[in-house]
Amino acid sequence: MINHLITQKNWQTQLSEAITSVDELLSILELESLKARIYLPAYFELRVPRAFVAKMTIGDSDDPLLKQVLPDQQEQITVTGYVNDPLDENAHNPVKGLLHKYQSRVLLTITGACAIHCRYCFRQHFDYSANMPTASAQADIIDYITAHPEINEVILSGGDPLNVTNRRLFAWFDTLDAIPQLTTIRLHTRLPVVIPARLDDALLDRMAQSRCHIVMVIHCNHANEIDTLTLEYLQRARVAGITLLNQTVLLKGINDSVASQVALSQRLFAAGVLPYYLHILDKVAGAAHFDSDERSAIELYWRLLSELPGYLVPKLVRELPNRPFKVPIDIYNGV
């Protein structure tokens, strides 16, 4: 059960009080015995909000939420094919802070900060310092977009775009709303799941007023991440007219069972969120132990098709470098 003393705090206080100590996390969960298996790389430290920890089961070393954030010695293992930049994003960075891989849309990395450090993150080695758009670079971004009339959507990403203050975020909305060719502003974010209070009234009101259609793609991997409070905040966002989608990463030993995926889709739907993508893991260095092989993913997908209505089955995809789209997995392969 969530500690209401935590959730009554504003989102910025919750963000500042996130747990960064392995000892503190294990003490709260009464799992001090796990310390021997911890490996904590200096470049990607532990970070997890207390509201997210409160959704974990005390004393359960196999808790699916804990396994996503607890650093593990397996991260030290070098595995062939798992690299620092699995999507070759640095090759699609024409303007500082802007990635242009897909024809009709661009992605802006407006911050390098996240509220939570997921151990499978494909950008854990990304050089944010070299790719953060400065105030002066915003003019270059606007010029780039207007010079490419095929662009009609901007994706705010990072890091996590909801990690920045409302003032900074609203400034981006104002800038993008003023570009006539844009029809959609999309946000890719984990914050509504790990700190639901981030969906405050000011944010929802500003998004509801946008000239552009607002799409929020949350990142939720397990039904246990959507407790009653999270569900309520997501439903408020939907009432505000925001299109809510979810993308999930298929993680071995965490959500690679039929039961966990069915429960996740049903819980998302209750919150007003439609499943969007089920991603095969990006092959980032340090995360090979989370990977589920493609054949197992296909078998899982066929089971989901039989157990869920079509609108609750996410697309099974893999993102590959130098492809101008998410690559659908051939579910007929080997059938």
Helices (H), 88-131: none
pTM passes above 0.85? yes
Q: Are strands 184-189 and 213-219 parallel, antiparallel or unpaired?
A: parallel
Show me where the domains of the chain are located: 4-76, 89-328
Helices (H), 117-178: 137-146, 166-177
Q: Which CATH superfamily is domain 89-328 in?
A: Aldolase class I (3.20.20.70)
DSSP 8-state symbol, 68: H
pLDDT score at 101: 86
Each residue's pLDDT, cut to its tens digit, for the chain (335 residues) gives 456 567 779 999 999 999 999 999 999 999 999 998 898 888 889 999 999 999 999 999 999 999 999 999 998 888 888 888 776 656 567 888 899 988 899 999 999 899 999 999 987 766 656 666 777 778 899 999 999 999 999 999 989 999 999 999 999 999 999 999 999 999 999 999 999 999 999 999 999 999 999 999 999 999 999 999 999 999 999 999 999 999 999 999 999 999 999 999 999 999 999 999 999 998 988 899 999 999 999 999 999 999 999 999 999 999 887 777 789 999 997 55
pLDDT score at 25: 97
Q: 159: which 2 tokens?
A: 């890091």
Please give the Cα distance from 261 to 243 (Å, whole number): 21
Q: Is 90 within 8 Å of 121 (Cβ atoms)?
A: no
pLDDT score at 1: 43
pLDDT score at 16: 96
Please give the Cα distance from 7 to 279 (Å, whole number): 30
Q: Is 39 within 8 Å of 45 (Cβ atoms)?
A: no
- The distance from CA 121 to its chain's CA centroid, rounded to whole angstroms, is 9
